[in-house]
Structure 1
Amino acid sequence: MHASPLSSFPARRAIRARLRLAGLLAAGLAACAGAAAQAPDTAPEAQTAYTPKQAAMARRFMAVTAHPLATDAAWRVLDRGGHAIDAAIAAQAMLSLVEPQSSGLGGGAFLLYYDAATGTVSAFDGRETAPAAAGADRFLEDGRPMEFAQAVDSGKSVGVPGMLRALELAHARHGRQPWRTLFDDAIARARHGFPVSQRLAALLDGNARLAAQPAARAYFFHADGTARRQGEILRNPALARTLADIARHGADAFYHGAPAQAMVDAVRAHPQPGDLSLADLAGYAARERPALCRPYRAYTVCGMPPPSSGGLAVAQMLALLDATPLARYAPLSAEAVHYFSEAGRLAYADRDRYVADPDFVDVPVQALLEPAYVARRAALIRPDRAMGRAHPGEPLPGALSRHGEDDTPALPSTTHLSIVDAEGNAVAMTASIEQAFGSKIFVGGFLLNNELTDFALSPRDARGRPAANRVEPGKRPRSTMAPTIVLRRDGAGPALRLVVGAPGGVAIANYVAQTVLANLTWGLDIQSAIDLPRYGSRNGPTELERGTVLESLQPALRAMGHATAVVSSPSGLHGVEMMSNGMLRGGADPRREGMARGR
């Protein structure tokens, strides 16, 4: 029997008091923002301000996205009877305009969908693919991996965009409103302009690498070289034309003809050219895959399968933690940080060794989640001592020798939206162009991704074994994006329980797992769970969110053998929980500018 989430540590009032003490204050996080503004490419999505947010309550539907204008676009679709998929398309079209640093037409997405009528969860894979001409030595110079910044800011980093095909496929399966109507808000805003947000202005200020690209410079900067300022009205007529063509003619308008030629030309004209081709664009196909669903306590937690490692890592962490006494400790205690970080080390070690595109690599997903294997891994977690760097396990005989390991760096960017419509259908979608402003190649009013740097930069690991996540033609790079949908298994209320996800690069699995744990196990409402200071390990140091009470835990953690690092945590979590009485509660991350709105 599991203890009640609140029975073994101070009552909810005490928890909230600790959250207030957690240091999520404007002054502390504004200091992080100042550092980000000075070096936007080394910490491209650090928070720019902290604005406390209240949970939004609704009876019929709820939308939570990374920008108020995108939330409003989704809300209007839902209010006129639209489906959750319809609302996600409208929101993402708007995000392509108002949050260009994070996602857009030139990137990819993973979309998780819950069908209220059937009670099923499905996954739509719009991850980018490597061009047909891509080789395993793509990011090598003189036999050595090139510098990450050099790989990012190049045509070599651009994968075949997949987001539009994924949205089109999901709409064909489940959408209700006509495709052509879902882009109206974004087209109008692109034509008439939108006010530059605080985050976008901070990320533009001093961004020499973005300004070095002529097309991007012409759009994001003034003629004298200064960046667009907060509150300035920015118009994007080129994007309006691109979106209008897509609205009229479907995704084919993007993958064929003039837009496709413009993308190919821009990539090949870069000083460090890539090899994207018209055939690559014309041949791209999104995939509908079975969702990765596993039981956790009284719930079923569903996430994305590979090529994302996020769903697997979240499932592993929850299973590992269920074998520990974590639930007895307060969310901001040294013990909670210890157990959570140890589970993260083990999950990330397996992620790095085994996960890649399942169309190219045999990923042992079921074996990695098999109870006996999880029990063996959980036994490595000691109550009073950190394990240091974890090694990957061996879920199947010989598995360790069949897969290479890589340590590809990733920088936090990306966006997430969570939507529940009036019929109870739900979408959790995480979209990205990878690093802030992607490859920085600007064409047709949007930025192209740099997702191919999510592959291993070296095709072999330190022992000379082929890396599972090496570059191959047509292959999807590994991701950590983790859109998540949780269902009740006990029949105590509506089947849908939670819709959540986050941006944040390689840290996404930690962000999402902590939020799911806080909501389902510690009993925090979705907004309080999102507000929690971030902690965890990606199989390196134990990371503690800067400017929070977590910094005071360092002596206790170091006494247990943890190497600690104080870091910015630009999580951008957005979630919706369905309460047992059918009410919807939406939460938006105070570290970003998102908003929850429902009716």
Structure 2
Amino acid sequence: MRIRAKRCVAAWAALACGMAMAACAAPPASPADEDKNPEGSSGYAEKPLVRAERFMVASANPLASEAGYDMLRQGGSAIDAAIATQLVLNLTEPQSSGIGGGAFIVYYDSATQQLKVYDGRETAPSSAQPARFMRDGRTLSYGAAVNSGLSVGVPGVLRAMELAHKRQGKLPWSELFKPAIRLAEQGFRVSPRLHKLVSENKALASQGAAAAYFLDERGRPWPVGHVLKNPDFAEVLRRVAKQGADAFYTGAIARGIVAAVRAHETPGDMTLADLSRYRAKEREPLCGTYRLYRVCGVPPPSAGVLGVLQMLGMLEQFPMSQFAPLGLEAVHYFSEAGRLAYADRDFYVADPDFVDVPAKALIDPAYLQARAALIDPDRSMGVAPPGDPVSRLASLGRDNALEIPSTSHIVVVDAEGDMLSMTTTIESAFGSKIFVHGFLLNNQLTDFSHNPVDAQGRLVANRVEGGKRPRSTMAPIIVFRDAKPYMAIGSPGGSAIMNYVAQTLVGVIDWKLDIQQAVSLPHYGSRNKQTELERGTPLEKLAQPLRAMGHDVSVHEFPSGLQGIVIDEHGLSGGADPRREGKVLGD
């Protein structure tokens, strides 16, 4: 393995002053909250820029990255590597993703020069009704909704990976399962991050199967370094490796999923027919431009890429390259653009098979120029109103769905030049907490609006309906420069994903940071509420100046988990978010 790593000195203060913009970004002093990386004694561990010549993979866990790297060394494609990586993440980062959840995949095929999008988003059971999370005219608390059988959507990640593998795979399907099967049988060491997140999640103890796996006989989280084995999951993987995804969606595994959902204290209504009918979808990519770059990714039901394109389209009206990355102007303009994009997201975006989403109108350059004109250089607008590009606003209600950050992202470039960006999730930390056959089931249905109507009595586009896919903010993106693939980027982070990804793109394109510097930048932005600044970073010094401009400021941890790869004249360079245990590997 030939990896050339570059480690730079800390330069937050220089970035904040607009100096030494090419200096490497060092980690902030305080880690992220729900998804923090507790590897170091304070702050999170510094990560180097990694360079390679032929291929590269980056994920949120070293063992997962090693599985993908092994596939690439065998001559596998980018999707081969991503599948092996995802299956290991199910073991080593179970709180974030796995076969009990869903995914979006963006894939560039170098042979055909085509961009593919695979939608493996979960679906609501066919019997689901709009008032699913209502009781006596009131919405359930978020905790009560999540930790229930009602929150579980029909998983989609295996169908999506199988569909993509049929189109772009090179290695045999069964080969991709070997690293995860080996780890499940032989065991892997509990990482500091997994130990901490299990320790903080009290709901696991109330679910017998989950408690038996994640806790010892005295109800304590397994200690760091404990070798955790999962023979049940190994058996599931052996079946799927041999029989394909049908082994998951029919037969004994499917019966186990349905039984677990229906046996919960608050039972769900998923059926065997819901599982057997599930299909991943291939969708047309959603693309826009920023400066001289073409930015492409998944369309609705995810709002993530659409929102990123909106933010970039508005920021293009301003000289972002002249602002210091951590300066007052950058934070102000970026946050105001975010307000406007999130305002549109809350009204317009839902499953396009159920709702007419005006995606093209929302990223039309003329519309975004008009939206950008609402940004005052000296004063925050507070809560932004949604726009009305197609004269439909009066008939739509504002969504009240919560999207909690526990997801994972994978990026790959293979030896043939194929590029992949994949975001995969079970929604909140440890999903529904329902553990069956060695894996966790998602709580993805809480991404629907909990109330089907808003305060004015208007129907919400993202309301629960049978067979519908809940709105997401996942934003796996591939960027093109001169019609050639240039960057793969994406992040977990719930509803904040749009901000994380847009900030990284501005970092690379406008501020000329390398990919590791860009993913390490302290986070800021607005989701059309407060202006948020990452705790433990120089951004805290901007709180008072921002308040003087009318910003309602909050300072807190940001659980991002960005992964990125850039292809340039020097080859491949990769960056992994220092807020997690991620690792970049390449040759």
**Aligned match of 2:572 in 584, 587, 594?**
584
Per-residue CA deviation, residues 412-468 of structure 1 (Å, 9 max, x unaligned), is 110000000001101100000000000000001000000000000000011110000
**Aligned match of 1:208 in 202, 207, 215?**
202
Aligned length: 569
CA distance change for structure 1 residues 84 and 17 in 2, over 3 Å: closer, same or farther?
A: closer
Partner in structure 1 of residue 387 of structure 2: 393
Q: Within 2, Cα distance between the matches of 1:196 and 1:274?
A: 31
**Aligned match of 2:470 in 468, 477, 485?**
477
Contact 2:408 2:425 in 1 (8 A): yes
State yes or no: 1:575 paired with 2:576. Answer: no
Partner in structure 1 of residue 192 of structure 2: 198
**Aligned match of 1:432 in 410, 416, 425?**
425
Q: Within 2, Cα distance between the matches of 1:409 and 1:214?
A: 27
Partner in structure 2 of residue 499 of structure 1: 488
Q: Within 2, Cα distance between the matches of 1:419 and 1:172?
A: 18
Contact 1:331 1:522 in 2 (8 A): yes
State yes or no: 1:594 paired with 2:582. Answer: yes
Per-residue CA deviation, residues 500-528 of structure 1 (Å, 9 max, x unaligned), is 10000000010000001100111100000
Partner in structure 1 of residue 30 of structure 2: 29
* 3-state SS in 2 of match to 1:511: helix
Q: Within 1, Cα distance between the matches of 2:112 and 2:256?
A: 42
Partner in structure 1 of residue 256 of structure 2: 262
**Aligned match of 1:72 in 59, 66, 72?**
66
Write out aligned runs for 1:94-493 (5 A): 94-397=88-391, 399-489=392-482
Q: Within 2, Cα distance between the matches of 1:209 and 1:483?
A: 30
Per-residue CA deviation, residues 126-157 of structure 1 (Å, 9 max, x unaligned), is 00000011001100010111100000000000
- The code of the aligned residue for 1:567 comes to H
Q: Give the ranges of 4+ consecutive aligned residues of structure 1 lying more than 6 Å apart after TM superposition.
A: 9-13
Q: TM-score, normalised by structure 2?
A: 0.95
Per-residue CA deviation, residues 54-106 of structure 1 (Å, 9 max, x unaligned), is 01110000000010001000001001110001111100011111110000010
State yes or no: 1:48 paired with 2:38. Answer: yes
Contact 2:37 2:578 in 1 (8 A): no
Contact 2:295 2:478 in 1 (8 A): yes
Which is worse superposed, 404-413 or 181-190? 404-413
Q: Within 2, Cα distance between the matches of 1:102 and 1:59?
A: 30
Cα deviation for residue 217 of structure 1 reads: 0.4
Cα deviation for residue 311 of structure 1 reads: 0.7
Per-residue CA deviation, residues 533-556 of structure 1 (Å, 9 max, x unaligned), is 000000011100010000001111
Cα deviation for residue 47 of structure 1 reads: 4.1
Contact 2:106 2:297 in 1 (8 A): yes
Cα deviation for residue 584 of structure 1 reads: 0.1
* 3-state SS in 2 of match to 1:138: coil
CA distance change for structure 1 residues 59 and 11 in 2, over 3 Å: closer, same or farther?
A: farther
- The code of the aligned residue for 1:443 comes to V
State yes or no: 1:563 paired with 2:565. Answer: no
Partner in structure 2 of residue 548 of structure 1: 537
Partner in structure 2 of residue 6 of structure 1: none
Q: Within 2, Cα distance between the matches of 1:130 and 1:324?
A: 41
Q: Within 2, Cα distance between the matches of 1:176 and 1:70?
A: 19
Contact 1:47 1:568 in 2 (8 A): no
Q: Within 2, Cα distance between the matches of 1:500 and 1:146?
A: 35
Per-residue CA deviation, residues 29-51 of structure 1 (Å, 9 max, x unaligned), is 25x5xxx5xxxxxxx32443501
Q: Within 1, Cα distance between the matches of 2:114 and 2:16?
A: 37
Contact 1:157 1:439 in 2 (8 A): yes
Contact 2:124 2:467 in 1 (8 A): yes
- The code of the aligned residue for 1:334 comes to L
CA distance change for structure 1 residues 18 and 442 in 2, over 3 Å: closer, same or farther?
A: closer
Contact 1:206 1:227 in 2 (8 A): no
Per-residue CA deviation, residues 467-502 of structure 1 (Å, 9 max, x unaligned), is 00000000000000000100113x6xxx11100100
Cα deviation for residue 118 of structure 1 reads: 2.5
Per-residue CA deviation, residues 335-383 of structure 1 (Å, 9 max, x unaligned), is 0000000000000000000000000000000111112211110100011
Cα deviation for residue 10 of structure 1 reads: 10
- The code of the aligned residue for 1:466 comes to L
Contact 2:81 2:412 in 1 (8 A): yes
Cα deviation for residue 13 of structure 1 reads: 6.3
Q: Within 1, Cα distance between the matches of 2:548 and 2:469?
A: 42
RMSD over aligned Cα, in angstroms?
1.4
Which runs of no fewer than 5 residues in structure 1 stay unpaired?
1-8, 37-43
- The code of the aligned residue for 2:53 comes to R
Q: Within 2, Cα distance between the matches of 1:457 and 1:388?
A: 25
Q: Within 2, Cα distance between the matches of 1:359 and 1:192?
A: 43
CA distance change for structure 1 residues 179 and 18 in 2, over 3 Å: closer, same or farther?
A: closer
Q: TM-score, normalised by structure 1?
A: 0.93
- The code of the aligned residue for 2:456 comes to R
